[in-house]
Amino acid sequence: MAIRGVIFDMDGTITAPYFDFAKIKTEAGIGDVDMLEYLRSATGVEYERIHSVLTRFEEAGVADAKLNRGARTLLSFLARHKIQTALLTRNSRKSVDGVCRRLKLDFDITISREDGPHKPAPEPIWQIAKRWGLKRREVLMVGDYKWDVLCAKNAGIPCALLLNGDAPPDWAKHAKHHIRRLTDLIEIIK
């Protein structure tokens, strides 16, 4: 069955990578743990401290955001072929809106971390497919990190992993496609 909807990750996929997660975690002093899981379990002053660090990095990311190579070409192709698009990110709504405004991006659906369970939970993908009225096999997830790949795997949809010049890591085996640039998706979707 043909792909009729494409879900994109934001940082490192639609945009050129701009977050240094190791630096964020070091500044937050949380070690090598999932930042959003840590934030979810934090309370009071600790929550405010971690949230402040993350917000500062997200605001800087909006100011520095640039489209990833081939993003505009791919999005134009999808629009011409009436293929729906969504943005699914672990970033905040404020960050998503700022990046989309700055880069003049328009998606049919955008889901941020405030909208419910976040990647790698499958629910955001199921919600998007339902809103589009599509079967899972008609939807493709595109991302650059393990949360994207695992989210797609958990939701039962194919995933294209954007390598951004890196060698495929171990978890890449769960992605149906490995791509070097976003425009590689055009041939996959045709």
Alpha helices in 2-108 (DSSP H): 21-28, 35-41, 44-64, 71-80, 93-103
110-139 pLDDT per residue, tens: 999 999 899 999 999 999 999 999 999 999
**Is the pLDDT score of 25 beyond 80?**
no
Instruction: Tell me whether residue 96 is exposed, middle or buried, using C-beta atoms within 10 angstroms of its C-beta: 0 to 12, 13 to 18, 19 or more.
Output: buried
Question: CA-to-CA distance for 185 and 78, rounded, in angstroms?
Answer: 10
* pTM summary value: 0.88
The more confidently predicted of residues 68 and 48 is 68
**Which residues on adjacent β-strands are paired with residue 40?**
none
Give the least confident one: 54-63, 111-120, 168-177: 54-63
Of these ranges, 11-20, 112-121, 164-173, the one predicted with the greatest mean pLDDT is: 112-121
